[in-house]
Structure 1
Amino acid sequence: MVDAFVGTWLLKESDKFDEYMKELGKCSVYFYFFLLLFFLMRAHCAGEYTVTLKTQSTMKNTELSFKLGVEFDETTADDRKVKSIVKIEDGKLVHIQRWDEKETSLVRQVNGNVLLLTLKLGDVVCERRYEKAE
């Protein structure tokens, strides 16, 4: 199931990312530039249950390793300290982050050489479309 996510993905389109960042309480100007600049995501799996996601941009690089279905502490790219859990549900990689009585979901799904990332916080829904680079 996780194999579909393995590879290098290049951001091609983003819709409502600025609204999502505002809902997080982040400075929209800073993240507006983050949105426009180079953004690459790499996914790697070790065995059936361990996943590593690396993101690279001109602003910040991050690396996140986790075991599917096991809660872990995460420091997000925007420096939030959250409790996270990632599961496979209906072929989608569902990532839930919780902090300060808030919750956001990051749902990744693959269709051919396209990865769609849907971010949801409250009533705000952002979609980011990636294409497979390798």
Structure 2
Amino acid sequence: MVDKFVGTWRMISSENFDDYMKALGVGFATRQVGNRTKPNLIVSLDDQGCVCMKSQSTFRTTEIKFKLNEPFDETTADDRKTRTVMSLENGKLVQKQTWDGKETSIEREISDGKLVAKCVMGDVVAVRTYVKDA
């Protein structure tokens, strides 16, 4: 089921991301860079059934490797240290991050051939859309 997410995805739009980063507690300077950065998202599978998700940009590259439904430690692009769980829910790849008593989720789904990432922190929602590179 994760197979449909495998590939290299190029960001084409980002809506409300500054407000989302504010809700996360990201500082002004990092938000400025984050708003200008259009990362590629590279999703792959290895032989052990681990999923690798790499976010690549000129600013920073982050990479996480995980098995579905198994908690792991993640250091995010904005340097938060989170406990993260990835799961598949109704065809969506859902990433739940918890840190310092807070929680955010990123729901990724394939819609009309695009990868749509919905980032939710409280009542703040950002949507980032990617297209698959050929």
Q: State the TM-score, normalizing by the size of structure 2.
A: 0.93
2-side partners of 1:78 and 1:103: how far apart? Answer: 15
Q: CA deviation at 1:29?
A: 4.2
Indicate the residue corresponding to 1:127 in structure 2. 127
Please, which moves more after superposition, 34-43 or 5-14?
34-43
Residues 8 and 85 (structure 1 numbering): CA distance in 2 closer, same or farther, change over 3 Å?
Answer: same
One-letter amino acid of the structure 1 residue matched with residue 110 of structure 2: V
Moved over 4 A (4+): none
Indicate the residue corresponding to 1:45 in structure 2. 45
Indicate the residue corresponding to 1:82 in structure 2. 82
Indicate the residue corresponding to 2:117 in structure 1. 117
Residues 127 and 36 (structure 1 numbering): CA distance in 2 closer, same or farther, change over 3 Å?
Answer: same
Percent identity over paired residues: 43
Matches for 1:98-117 after TM superposition, within 5 Å: 98-117=98-117
- In structure 2, runs of 5+ residues without a counterpart are none
In the TM superposition, what whole-angstrom CA distance separates every residue of 1:80-131 from its partner, at most 9, and x where no partner exists?
Answer: 1111100001000000000111000010001243000000001100000000
Indicate the residue corresponding to 2:27 in structure 1. 27
- In structure 1, runs of 5+ residues without a counterpart are none
State whether residues 94 and 107 of structure 1, in contact with CA within 8 Å, keep that contact through their aligned partners in structure 2. Answer: yes
Q: State the TM-score, normalizing by the size of structure 1.
A: 0.93
Q: CA deviation at 1:72?
A: 0.7
**What is the root-mean-square deviation in Å for CA atoms of aligned residues?**
1.4
